[in-house]
Amino acid sequence: MHFDPTTASAGGRMGQTNQQGTVVGAHEDSLASIGAPRRTRLRMAEQEKVVDALESWPPEPIGQVRVRLLTEDAVADLRGPTACEVLDDAGVRAVLDRLGPDPQLDDGPEAEAKFVERLRKSGKAVGLQLMDQAVVAGIGNVYRAEILFRARMNPHLPAKQVTVEQARDLWADWARLLEIGVTTGQMMTMDDLADDAYRAALANRADRHWVYKREGLPCRVCRTHIVLEEMGNRKLYWCPRCQA
Ligand SMILES: [Zn+2]
């Protein structure tokens, strides 16, 4: 979903502007689309009423808008969904029951065990399994690439060859990155950065990731060129040396 208003006020967190993140069409990168910054967005809505008044309201739909949710001062547009249906309560329940665990809803041992079991039961590549909503809900393309790099795991490794220990680590890392994302409002996947580097990373997507959108650039760890390939009809970025 794409939310308006999208720009953070000057008094926003860390003082950064978010213009670079709000590229129409680049849904998964957009600060204005669901990925990480859920809590932050709710906070942003209150700050941005002043901005709204200066523009025509409501804004014209852009792209393939299938659903629009509109209030007096906010709009959420659903664009280009894989599936789009109106469901009754039972239908919603059935969809939710099919979904894998989401650590923002439940990071307890049962959720972890469900993830580990569902991930490892398939001979498909681990990079594919992480994008299966029945295995884990909502990782998305940015986090898939980044989590696998952080684990130094080959995306083509058959998921059944992932050890229980490794699977638990993937789950824990996903929970950690998701919490950072929700807290900062950015899909920040590099941690342990010094203050300056951290600020740069928050302000600029290019400084925020290990491998995502870095094809052809030297790996931050080993200087091997980052590879881009299609996996599960989505672009996958990885380092063939660190993730050999
Ligand atoms: Zn590398």
pLDDT in tens, 191-236: 788 888 888 888 888 889 999 999 999 999 999 999 999 998 899 9
For 54, phi and psi rounded to 5 degrees?
-85, -15
Å from CA of 19 to ligand 1 middle: 30
Å from CA of 150 to ligand 1 middle: 10
Å from CA of 239 to ligand 1 middle: 5
- pLDDT (0 to 100) of residue 64: 86
- pLDDT (0 to 100) of residue 88: 96
* pLDDT of 147 higher than 80: yes
Q: How many CB atoms lie within 10 A of CB 113?
A: 15
Q: Is the Cβ–Cβ distance between 23 and 194 less than 8 Å?
A: no
Burial 182-200 (b: 16+ CB within 10 A, else e): eebbbbbbbeeeeeeebee
* pLDDT of 29 higher than 50: no
Which domains does the chain carry?
2-79 (no CATH), 104-238 (1.10.8.50)
* Token pair listed for 30: 């957009």
- pLDDT (0 to 100) of residue 202: 84
- pLDDT (0 to 100) of residue 54: 53
pLDDT per position as a tens digit, 66-115 = 999 999 888 999 988 878 889 999 999 998 889 999 999 999 999 999 99
Å from CA of 241 to ligand 1 middle: 5
Å from CA of 231 to ligand 1 middle: 19
Å from CA of 91 to ligand 1 middle: 44
